[in-house]
Amino acid sequence: MINGKDIIVTMVSKNNAKLGYRFIRQGSSEECLRCSFKHICIDKLEEGRIYQIVNIRKNEHYCKLINDKVKVVEVIESNIKCTVPTRIAFEGSIITYNRITCDEIKCINFTECNPIGLKDGDKCKLVRKLGKVNCNKGKSLTAVVLFRISSFNVKQF
């Protein structure tokens, strides 16, 4: 465990096997579903979540999908920068995340109000408060960093 986050062993392409590299677990191809390494490579990662490499192992395997070698790596689920209503923005608190409802796609805060890697109803720990956000619609919002509490590590909080 690193900072209360479960370490997951998976595989990434040799080119992406760098400490700190972040990636989103997306859907699987037919090739992946038939692969003997599926249980290591994709089964432990949740679709739509962002992961960050924290250790690179020496092991390499050939991947038919990318027609190249992949490295075995250790990852954790990445913290996510987003916005939340100011009334619930307290460092260390556990919140239920719900996306900010807004259709202003040209707004500079749109990415933080609609972050990749979080889903409505996720239980999260508010790791860091970054500051108030100017909202074009007049909502009282604060930029924060959240750590999703998975079903595996919820007992620690």
pLDDT tens for 135-146 read 999 999 999 999
d(CA 14, CA 34): 21
User: Over the stretch 40-80, which tens digit does the pLDDT of each residue have?
Assistant: 888 999 999 999 999 999 999 999 989 999 999 999 999 99
- pLDDT beyond 60 at 1: yes
Residue ranges per structural domain of the chain: 8-77, 80-156
Integer Cα distance of 35 and 33 in angstroms: 6
pTM of the predicted structure, to 2 decimals? 0.85
The pLDDT-based confidence of 121 (bands split at 50, 70, 90) is very high
Q: Give φ, ψ of 63 to 5 degrees.
A: -110, 120
Give the CB-side neighbour count of residue 148, counting CA atoms within 13 A: 24
Query: What integer is the mean pLDDT of 12-27?
Result: 94
Residue 154 has pLDDT above 50, yes or no: no
Q: What is the pLDDT of residue 127?
A: 96
Residue 3 has pLDDT above 80, yes or no: no
